[in-house]
Amino acid sequence: MLSMPRDAWSKLPANVRGALLIAIGSLFFAANDAMVKFVGSDVHPVQIALVRYSMGILLLLPMFVRLGLSGLKTGRAGLHLARSLVAGIGQVGVYYAVVNLMLADATAISFSRPLFITVLAVLLLGEAVGWRRWSATLIGFAGTVVMVRPGHMGFTPASMVAVVSALLFALSLVLIRRLSGTEPPPRILFYYHAFGTLIFLWPALRLWVMPSALQWLLLLLIGVLTTIGMVCFVRGFAAGEASIVGPMEYTRLIYAALIGYFVFAELPDAWTWVGAGIIVGSTLYVARHEAMSGPRPLAG
């Protein structure tokens, strides 16, 4: 979209702009996963996470400087720290899963995140959930089981790590909902990256392996691609309706499958596509039902 004339871009319908930005952001995230897979066999996931968070701070520094100290001041440092810790552990788990699973598998399992959000929103936010949404959530979890296949000879611990990481990211998003009542997005981004860097600094130094020149390049690209993808998502959801632009995130599964096939010679089996189809279908239903129902009342 950077090459598209500004006036032509602005003339596109808002939902089209939003959908394109989400699709582009998904491509950056898929490319990021490929970089992680390249370096992850030699560089510890904790080390990758440190580079990712510190690069995020550097790339977003102009925005943080514009905010100033008054804009960064918060009375909810504890909740920011909790969110960064939960998301950080989930991020390390994602890196481990990407390295040890096929890209399409790791990506499809990550799409179970909205299903966990449904459960956590009830438990932690007191949201009321109807039987249709519960049914779709249970069906989605069945799709996750189809993909993970516990007890099957193809089952690996990395599959469970991917599921737990999806749960942790869901918890992180629920914590963002709590923060968003008083904290603007730039402040949330600042503390996410700042605390993430501090959390992983000591363990990363303990596990540090000096990367080669190529690995350094890939590590820096991980930070850049993740940050650009995140910005695309923020702008995409700001431009269009979430129920319309959100499903474009599932293009990441297509990107992951293509990258996995052409770069890593990975060919997902039929169960991957069956499970992925169930997960995607159920999460799309949940998203559509949520959009049609409007904001959920809080219990109590």
Is the pLDDT at 54 greater than 80? The verdict is: yes
**Angle, in degrees to the nearest 10, between helices 213-239 and 45-72:** 50
Radius of gyration of the chain (CA): 19
As a whole number, mean pLDDT of residues 43-61 equals 94
The pLDDT of residue 294: 53
pLDDT at 280: 85
List, for residues 9-26, the tens digit of each pLDDT value: 777 888 888 889 999 999
Q: What does the alpha-carbon distance between residue 211 and residue 219 come to, in Å, rounded to a whole number?
A: 9
Does 10 map to a domain?
no
pLDDT digits (tens, 9 = 90+) for 56-98: 999 989 989 998 988 899 999 999 999 999 999 999 999 999 9
Short-list 283, 263, 281, 282, CA closest to 98: 263
Terminal alpha carbon distance of the chain: 46
Q: 127 forms bridges with which residues in the sheet?
A: 298
Structural domain includes residue 8: no
pLDDT at 134: 83
Its domain, for residue 74, covers 15-293
Q: What is the pLDDT of residue 268?
A: 84
pLDDT at 297 (0 to 100): 40
For residues 103 and 256, the answer to whether their CB atoms sit within 8 Å is yes
For residue 178, the number of C-alpha atoms closer than 13 Å in the C-beta half-sphere is 18
Mean pLDDT of the chain: 86
Confirm whether pTM is higher than 0.95. no
In 13-148, which residue ranges form alpha helices assigned H by DSSP? 14-39, 45-72, 77-100, 103-110, 113-125, 131-148
Identify whether 298 is part of a domain. Answer: no
pLDDT band with cut points at 50, 70 and 90 for residue 296: very low
Inside any domain, residue 299:
no
Q: What is the pLDDT of residues 124-175, one digit of tens each?
A: 878 777 777 788 888 888 888 887 766 555 568 898 999 999 999 999 988 9
The whole-number average pLDDT for the span 210-215 is: 94
96 within domain boundaries: yes
Could you write out the three-class secondary structure of 175-197? Answer: HHHHHCCCCCHHHHHHHHHHHHH
The count of structural domains within the chain is 1
The answer to whether 36 and 99 have CB atoms below 8 angstroms apart is yes
At a CB cut-off of 8 Å and minimum separation 6, what does 216 contact?
Answer: none
User: With bands split at pLDDT 50, 70 and 90, how would you rate the model's confidence at 300?
Assistant: very low
Cα–Cα distance for residue pair 88/257, rounded to 1 Å: 25
Q: Which of 95-104, 247-256, 257-266 has the lowest mean pLDDT?
A: 247-256
Does pLDDT of 209 surpass 50?
Answer: yes
Name residues whose C-beta falls within 8 Å of residue 78's C-beta, 6 or more positions apart in sequence. Answer: none
pLDDT at position 169 is 92
Residues in the chain, total: 300
Residue 20 lies inside a defined structural domain of this protein: yes
- Residue 89 in any domain: the answer is yes
Contact (Cβ atoms closer than 8 angstroms) between residue 117 and residue 61: no
Residue 229 lies in a domain: yes
